[in-house]
Every structure is written in C-alpha cells, then in structure tokens.
Chains A and B, each alone.
Chain A
Amino acid sequence: MTVHNLYIFDRNGNCLFYSEWNRKKQAGISKDEEFKLMYGMLFSIRSFVSKMSPLDMKDGFLSFQTSKYRLHYYETPSGLKFVMNTDLSVSNARETLQHIYSNLYVEYIVKNPVCVLGHNLDSELFSSRLDAFIRALPYYSPRAA
C-alpha cells in the first residue's frame, strides 16, 4: 500500500510540482523529458477517451492501471492537472487529489501573494504540508509493499 509519486501540471503543460516517495524505477530519461512525456501521454489519453466514449462524459478520464501501478488523474476546471501514481491496492484517489487541490494548493499557493502562478511552486510550506498529508494517508506505508 503505497504512493509512488505526484505531479502537478498547469494548463500549458508546464510541470509545477513533482515529488516522489517510493519510486523504485526511474524512467531512464531526464526529468524534463519525463514531465513532457507524462503530460503528452495524458493529453493524448484525454483526447482518445473523448473520441472513443460511447456516451457523453461528465468527469472524463479517471485512472488507468498496469500490472504494477495505478495512475490517478484529476483535472480542475482551470486546467490544473493532478497526477498520482500508487500501487494497485488503491482503487480511488480522486477525493485525495481533490483534497490536495482545495485544501493545499488553493490555501498555500493561490492565496500566497508571493507565489507566482504558472511557475514552479517553491513554497516550502506547501511541500511540507503535502508531504505530511501523503504520509498520513491510510494507504501509505513507508516500506514499499
């Protein structure tokens, strides 16, 4: 039961925030390339899903899973994208991501007059609160499962 990593992208594809807790394998490419690839993959999945869908969708793409991990996705109406990779035991992290947005991002970044939106989030308060929140999650355990 663990959280591997978390990405936050803005509406233009810039990665605003990234942190990892239990990542066992790096992607083999530089961090910048990895962010671009991740954003590109999500953009393509969203477009793929909107074309393939047999009915009109309300929330759109929610998550995908492979044999080893599950990627959870939450997009705010302002185009901010929250992406979290966990292991397979976590079935629904949408509320967690919504909580991260409304109680952490909005409180510590948006309401911070010093933080410029659209650039890398370098608020230490945000990072430490986010870290504490993730570690306190019921499905987080420091030893990788």
Chain B
Amino acid sequence: MVIFSVYVVNKAGGLIYQYDNYVPRAEAEKTFSFPLDLVLKHHDEKVIVSFGQRDGIRVGHAVLSINGVDVMGKNTGEGKDILEYLRDANNYPVSIRFGRARLSSNEKLMLASMFHSLFAIGSQLSPDVGSSGIEMLETDVFKLHCFQTLTGIKFIVLADPRQSGIDTLLRKIYEIYSDFALKNPFYSLEMPIRCELFDQNLKGALEVAEKAGNFGAGS
C-alpha cells in the first residue's frame, strides 16, 4: 500500500512541483557471452532492449551499467559507444545491468503537460453533460488520481491500486499548498514551488496516508 509520486501542474499545463516518494527499481544484472542474445537499440539518448526477454529483463528496459560502471546516455562510463562496445567479441564476457529507466526532469515536464491535455480531452469527449476532466486513471500496476482546483491547479498522485483515502489526501495537499506556498511572500504564482515547509509537510501527509492506508476524516 504505497504512494509512488506527487505532481503539481499549473493553469497552463506546466509542471511546478514533483516528488517521488517511492520508486521501486526492479533491476537485473547478468553476465553475457558473445554474441549477445538480446537486441538493443538507441532511444531518446538511452540504449534499450528492443527484442528478447529473459531472467527479469524485459523489452523497454534500459542498460544501466556495464561491468559495474554506470553508463552515461549512449556511451559507457569511459565514453565508448555502447552498441559498438557490445559488438566487439574481445570485450566479452561482460556483465550488464538492465532495469526500468528513471524519468529525467525533462521527461517529467513533458508527461505532466501531456496529462494536462488528456485531462481536457476527457472532458470534451464526454457522453454526459457537465463532466469534469480525468479524475482517476487505472492500470494494473498503479492508479493515478487528479484533483483540479477552481483556479486550474492540478494535484496528481500516483499510488498503488489498493490504496484508499487518496481523495482526502489530495485535498490535504491542496491545503498544504495554500498554507506553505501561496502564503509564502517569496513565492510567485504558477512558478515552480521551492518552499521547504511545503516539502516537509507534504512528506508528512504522505507518511500519514500510507500508514493509515486510509487518510482518516478525523485528522
């Protein structure tokens, strides 16, 4: 019963705050001999698996480290191109660590803006009158909850599908936002939130929500 992350999106669709509470990193490290039986390809400045699944390595996983040295984008730690390195039989046996790639800040910005638009389209395509945008999006691994305030700020929480009490948590986060960000005289509206008290109180609220499994109405 876990809350993965929190995003706050402003009126224009830009990400103004992001916090990763729990990031499960499923990684697999294996030693390979020539030739490599997985097909790798370049994608977005990373090297990912495009074909071949075995022992916890899935399609879409990125190369995280080679022989214990973390990779830097498309190149190994020493600066050599990864695909070239792995095509050379002399470099084998090699130990490679694969895992889900961590999202970079740029990617998070893009995803937040993407959700801002999807939220609006969900409202436009409604078969019923007076519908809001997407308030809850469900997959088999996580549930995304979104609360849009009257001023257009969206609070988005990604949590475990079985976690309850997220609605109360979203309203609590709104309360924390208005107390520690809006009332902060050095904070400008719609700008990224850089207020320590906001961070602290948000972490506290998430802890309470996770522990209770249900953010109590009494709190």
Question: Which residues of A are interface residues toward B (Cβ below 8 A)?
Answer: 4-5, 20, 22-25, 27-28, 34, 37-38, 41, 44-45, 48-69, 71, 85, 87
Give the distance to chain B from A54, nearest Cβ to Cβ, in Å.
Answer: 5
Contact indicator per residue, chain B 41-79, by CB within 8 Å of chain A (1) or not (0): 000000000000000001010000000000000000000
CB contact list, B1-44 vs A, under 8 A: 4-5, 22-24, 26
A28: chain B residues within 8 A (beta carbon)? 124
Alpha-carbon distance A74/B139, docked complex (angstroms): 11
Alpha-carbon distance A125/B99, docked complex (angstroms): 48
Alpha-carbon distance A71/B126, docked complex (angstroms): 9
Alpha-carbon distance A63/B117, docked complex (angstroms): 17
Q: How many chain B residues have a CB neighbour from A under 8 Å? A: 40
B142: chain A residues within 8 A (beta carbon)? 52-55
B23: chain A residues within 8 A (beta carbon)? 54
Task: Judge whether A60 and B140 touch: CB under 8 Å.
Answer: yes
A51: chain B residues within 8 A (beta carbon)? 103, 107, 111
Task: Judge whether B132 and A64 touch: CB under 8 Å.
Answer: no
Give the distance to chain B from A24, nearest Cβ to Cβ, in Å.
Answer: 5
Question: Which residues of B are interface residues toward A (Cβ below 8 A)?
Answer: 4-5, 22-24, 26, 58, 60, 100, 103, 107, 111, 114-115, 117-118, 121-142, 144, 158
- Most chain B CB neighbours (cut-off 10 Å) among A4, A22, A27, A67: A67
Question: Which one of B5, B107, B135, B140 lies within 8 Å of A66 (CB-CB)?
Answer: B135
A22: chain B residues within 8 A (beta carbon)? 127
Question: Which one of B127, B130, B139 lies within 8 Å of A53 (CB-CB)?
Answer: B139
Question: Which one of B24, B107, B125 lies within 8 Å of A27 (CB-CB)?
Answer: B125
Q: A68 and B140 in contact (CB under 8 A), knowing A27-B125, A48-B111, A50-B60?
A: no
Question: Which one of A5, A20, A55, A64 lies within 8 Å of B137 (CB-CB)?
Answer: A64
Task: Judge whether A41 and B118 touch: CB under 8 Å.
Answer: yes
B128: chain A residues within 8 A (beta carbon)? 4, 23-25, 68-69, 87
- Of the A-B pairs whose beta carbons lie under 8 Å apart in the complex, a sample of 5, sorted by A's number, is A24-B129, A55-B141, A58-B140, A64-B136, A65-B138
Task: Judge whether A67 and B4 touch: CB under 8 Å.
Answer: no
Task: Judge whether A54 and B131 touch: CB under 8 Å.
Answer: no
Give the distance to chain A from B213, nearest Cβ to Cβ, in Å.
Answer: 18
Task: Judge whether A66 and B126 touch: CB under 8 Å.
Answer: yes
Chain B residue nearest to A21 (CB atoms) is B127
- Most chain A CB neighbours (cut-off 10 Å) among B123, B135, B136, B141: B141
Task: Judge whether A27 and B124 touch: CB under 8 Å.
Answer: yes
Question: Which one of A45, A55, A62, A64 lies within 8 Å of B100 (CB-CB)?
Answer: A55
